[in-house]
């Protein structure tokens, strides 16, 4: 077996979508239109901030399981 199918019918709730796949799209995809309020949140910035959150959370989990 070398395929994993995750054929999501259109009505699949987003809870079943892997967060990492969703973040690929909402953080790095989508049309970039400068929001005047979020003017200086450049693309890379957004991804960097969020990845830092992910990594911090991953290492927090790792520390918990090591305890």
Report the residue from 31, 44, 64, 66 that binds another protein according to the rule CB under 8 A: 31
Residue 10 contacts another protein per CB under 8 A: yes
Question: Between residues 21 and 67, which has the closer beta carbon with respect to another protein?
Answer: 21
The number of C-alpha atoms within 13 Å of 30 and in the hemisphere containing its C-beta is 13
Helix (H, G, I), strand (E, B) or coil at 30: coil
C-alpha span between 55 and 51 (Å, rounded):
6
* Phi, psi of 36, rounded to the nearest 5 degrees: -65, -30
For another protein, the binding residue among 21, 63, 64, 67 (CB under 8 A) is 21
Which stretches of the chain bind another protein, using CB under 8 A?
2-8, 10, 14-15, 17-41, 43, 46, 49-58
């Amino acid at each position: 077996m070398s395929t994993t199918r995750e054929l999501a019918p259109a009505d699949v709730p987003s809870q079943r979508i892997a967060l990492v796949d969703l973040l690929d799209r909402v953080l790095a995809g989508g049309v970039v239109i400068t929001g005047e309020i979020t003017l200086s949140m450049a693309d890379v910035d957004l991804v960097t901030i969020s990845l830092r959150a992910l990594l911090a959370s991953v290492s927090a989990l790792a520390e918990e399981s090591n305890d």
